[in-house]
């Protein structure tokens, strides 16, 4: 009986296919490992970026900045003074994170703390990463106390919100993704 002889090409082909399959599997594993590494690095990097942004936003003025800006920053860092009682302060709550009911829930929490609520509505933008407390001129002490009550780290004068949008309120809270 004669057995058919296999040519050298027929002997090599199965190994070539196996090599391509193994290479493809290795490529998929590499992509998965790179994705996992990106996820592990993303959170610490975002914390560093957030801390740097807060540091830049609250830094002291440089000598080359205009006088008006230096005075405004000096007022921002001045001692707060005496705050009015919570029951005498009206707050407008804005939802800046896009989650349904976030402004209403925050307004209820503030009401339980003793504040008067001027209203609750959506902010113009829905991409606030952290919550922000803003105050009208003369209400810095109340703004700082409100931020302390809520555990909010970003506090400043009204910026990007017209005083008329506050519906008679003195303070504004923009509810972000994190407090």
In this structure, of 30-34, 66-70, 91-95, 156-160, the range with the lowest mean pLDDT score is 66-70
Asked if residues 152 and 179 have their Cβ atoms less than 8 Å apart, the reply is yes
Cα→Cα distances 22→25, 33, 42, Å = 5, 16, 30
pLDDT at residue 2, as a whole number: 64
pLDDT of 76-101, one tens digit each?
666 667 888 999 999 999 999 999 99
pLDDT of 115-164, one tens digit each?
999 999 999 999 999 999 999 988 999 999 999 999 999 998 888 888 78
Assigned domain for 151 exists: yes
In sequence order, what are the residues at sequence separation of 6 or more whose Cβ sits closer than 8 angstroms to the Cβ of residue 87?
114, 115, 116
Assigned domain for 94 exists: yes
CATH of the domain at 108: 3.30.70
Assigned domain for 8 exists: no
pLDDT at residue 108, as a whole number: 95
What is the count of structural domains for the chain? 1
Assigned domain for 11 exists: no
- What angle in degrees, to the nearest 10, is found between the helix axes of 140-150 and 102-113? 110
Dist CA 48 CA 164 (whole Å): 36
Residue of higher predicted confidence among 109 and 67: 109
pLDDT at residue 60, as a whole number: 66
Phi and psi, residue 90, nearest 5°: -100, 140
Dist CA 36 CA 42 (whole Å): 10
Reported as a pLDDT band with limits 50, 70 and 90, residue 7 is: low
Assigned domain for 112 exists: yes
The parent domain of residue 146 ranges over: 83-175
Residue of higher predicted confidence among 27 and 54: 27
Reply yes or no on whether the pLDDT at 9 is more than 70: no
Strands (E) in the chain, as ranges, are 90-95, 116-122, 132-135, 154-157, 171-175
């Amino acid at each position: 009986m004669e057995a058919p002889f296999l040519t050298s090409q027929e002997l090599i082909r199965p190994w070539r296919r196996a090599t391509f399959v193994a290479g493809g599997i290795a490529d998929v594993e590499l992509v998965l490992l790179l994705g996992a590494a990106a996820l592990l690095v993303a959170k610490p990097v975002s914390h560093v970026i957030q801390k740097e942004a807060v540091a830049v936003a609250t830094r002291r003025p440089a000598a080359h900045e205009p006088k008006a800006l230096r005075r405004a920053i000096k007022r921002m860092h001045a001692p707060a003074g005496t705050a009015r009682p919570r029951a005498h302060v009206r707050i407008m709550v804005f939802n800046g994170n896009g989650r349904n009911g976030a402004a209403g829930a925050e307004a209820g929490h503030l009401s339980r703390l003793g504040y008067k609520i001027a209203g609750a509505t959506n902010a113009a933008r829905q991409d606030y990463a952290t919550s922000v407390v803003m105050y009208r001129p003369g209400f810095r002490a109340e703004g700082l106390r409100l931020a302390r009550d809520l555990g909010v780290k970003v506090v400043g004068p009204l910026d990007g919100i017209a005083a008329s949008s506050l519906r008679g309120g003195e303070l504004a809270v923009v509810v972000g993704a994190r407090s």
